[in-house]
Amino acid sequence: MKAVRVLPRAEGGQLAVQDIPTPQPGPGEVLVRVRASGINYGEIKYMREHRTGAPMTAGVEFAGEVASVGAQVRGWREGDRVMGHGRGCHAQYVIAAPLALMPVPPEVSWVDAAAFPNVFITAHDALVSNGELKAGETVFINGASGGVGMAAVMAASALGAKVIASSRSAAKLERLAGYGVDVGVNASSESQVEAIMAATDGRGVDVIIDTIGGTVFEDHIKSLAVKGRLVNLARLGGASTAQVDLNLLWLNRLKLIGATFRTRTEAERLACVQACARDLMHFFREGKLRLPIDRTFQMDAIGEAYAYIERSQHMGKIVLIAD
């Protein structure tokens, strides 16, 4: 089968599409014929870190058809349309755990299905499992035009929250209004704290989903309501340290939470998939959680796809076609 391989520095340190053996499912495993796989910004950083190790297949989400199942698998059979979260997904076939799979309705395209798993599992974990977001609460989401940001906007809106979101692009903010943003904040020209306080009558927000990191942490602390929760998913702003006003942290009884899949066990990861499916799949079936697809690339153009996503000019998802 064809697969996108990350080569270690000793072998050139590059991405390469190579022919490798097609895996076979063991007991408790499902083999999926991949039709499309979502590309995520986090892959690029992980890929660079991994280049000191052995060759590996890239990709963490996919959509396709069940090709075969191993012994002891219940609930899935050959021909089922599925999407899922896993490892080595930028390939023509992938091995998945049954609990890592979710059904794909027949009317949903492979491209739309491949855009769902990683970003919505991440967004649900941040909003619900960590942020404890409830209907009627207010959430602020920065970097809202990226894949995870848009998924968080759409999921929070579907769950009944008021959504305040920021972007550095006025054009992207205008588009985001159609995906569930109630109040847009232009991060290039507006004060986050002032905009949030104006939108909440001075109360602040209940939850912040942050992908920027240290450069905006001080404003986040000032933007939270009493008993507010700040969930950090990434440090795309570059700063890994932050100023924190401990007086506000103490006085407002705030929670600061880090969320990542890197240090989770396999059981924890699968639990996140199932929690997302429980709370969000009915919205997906109803057509309420379909990310816009910015571009698709053929597998042989994976280098071009990664370069495109690094330029951060896209809005929505970038998807690889497993030809």
Task: Give the predicted TM-score (pTM) of the model.
Answer: 0.93
Do 142 and 237 reside in the same domain of the chain? Answer: yes
Do 193 and 306 reside in the same domain of the chain? Answer: no
CATH of the domain at 132: 3.90.180.10
Do 147 and 218 reside in the same domain of the chain? Answer: yes
What local confidence, expressed as pLDDT, does residue 51 receive? 60
The structural domain count of the chain equals: 2
Do 132 and 231 reside in the same domain of the chain? Answer: yes
Residue 315 lies in a domain: yes
What local confidence, expressed as pLDDT, does residue 13 receive? 56
3-class SS of residue 290: coil
53-65: average pLDDT? 91
What local confidence, expressed as pLDDT, does residue 15 receive? 84
Q: Tell which of 258, 277, 310 closes a domain.
A: 258
The answer to whether the CB of 14 falls within 8 A of the CB of 7 is yes
Do 146 and 88 reside in the same domain of the chain? Answer: no
Residue 190's domain comprises 119-258
Do 101 and 154 reside in the same domain of the chain? Answer: no
Residue 275 lies in a domain: no
Q: Tell which of 212, 240, 258 closes a domain.
A: 258
b/e code 2-13 from CB counts within 10 Å (16+ = b): bbbbbbeeeeee
Do 35 and 111 reside in the same domain of the chain? Answer: yes
Do 138 and 82 reside in the same domain of the chain? Answer: no
How many angstroms separate the CA atoms of 142 and 144, rounded?
5
Pairing state of beta strands 2-6 and 56-57? antiparallel
Using pLDDT thresholds of 50, 70 and 90, give the confidence band for residue 50.
Answer: low
What local confidence, expressed as pLDDT, does residue 146 receive? 85
Task: Tell me: pLDDT of 11 over 90.
Answer: no
Residue 143 lies in a domain: yes
Residue 162 lies in a domain: yes
Do 180 and 85 reside in the same domain of the chain? Answer: no
What local confidence, expressed as pLDDT, does residue 10 receive? 55
Residue 268 lies in a domain: no
Task: Tell me: pLDDT of 129 over 60.
Answer: yes
Task: Tell me: pLDDT of 286 over 80.
Answer: yes
Residue 81 lies in a domain: yes
Do 62 and 21 reside in the same domain of the chain? Answer: yes
Using pLDDT thresholds of 50, 70 and 90, give the confidence band for residue 44.
Answer: confident
What local confidence, expressed as pLDDT, does residue 90 receive? 98
- Taking alpha carbons only, the member of 306, 304, 297 closest to residue 45 is 306
Neighbours of 278 (CB within 10 A): 11
Residue 204 lies in a domain: yes
Which of 27-31, 48-52, 290-294 shows the lowest mean pLDDT across its residues?
48-52
| pLDDT tens readout for residues 164-190 | 999 999 999 999 999 999 999 999 999
Residue 274 lies in a domain: no
3-class SS of residue 175: helix
Do 166 and 253 reside in the same domain of the chain? Answer: yes
316-322: average pLDDT? 95
Do 240 and 146 reside in the same domain of the chain? Answer: yes
